[in-house]
Amino acid sequence: MARAEQPLKCPSAQPGMGDVQILGVISRDADEPRLAYLDEALPATPPVLELAAPLDVSQVFRLSARCEERKCTHFDGVDCQLAVRIAKMLPEVVDQLPACNIRRDCRWFRQEGRAACLRCPQILTGNHEADEVLREVAGVPRLSR
């Protein structure tokens, strides 16, 4: 199969999606959480995901999986609008492309290029730790005050 025919990968996936793998582990050594990318993809099997307990999987791991395209609220039929917002609204947090195990198939990179990668390590799947900007990027309504 030619590379162009490979399904693209979502780099902020949930358990239960297709071909789900561990993209990296959330590091909390600095002031803000950052993704430490795994050198090689690791299947996100139930025993691996259970290592996150008692925390939620998304507080410990970031997962990649097959992009669900039209089944995903972020997909507009052509592009992932989450990737668009990340590239437009968030600051760069690294100055070199992270060593990432899905780059050649990553939807965010295919769409937004380097701009997505330089912002990617700050993304946490889910929004329980997200500040207002990250919530807005994720498409979550602002909290009422």
Residues that bind ligand SF4 (CB under 6 A): 11, 98, 100, 102-103, 106, 108-109, 116-117, 120
Closest distance to ligand SF4 from the beta carbon of 132 (Å): 22
Nearest to 61 by CA among 116, 20, 114: 20
Find the helix or strand (DSSP H, E) in which 64 lies. strand 61-66
- Round to whole Å and give the CA distance between 65 and 78: 18
For residues 11 and 47, which CB has a smaller minimum distance to ligand SF4 in the complex? 11
For residues 111 and 127, which CB has a smaller minimum distance to ligand SF4 in the complex? 111
Query: Edge to edge, what strands does the sheet with 21-27 contain?
Result: 9-13, 61-66, 21-27, 34-43
For residues 33 and 54, which CB has a smaller minimum distance to ligand SF4 in the complex? 33
Closest distance to ligand SF4 from the beta carbon of 108 (Å): 4
Closest distance to ligand SF4 from the beta carbon of 9 (Å): 8
Paired with 75 in beta bridges are 80
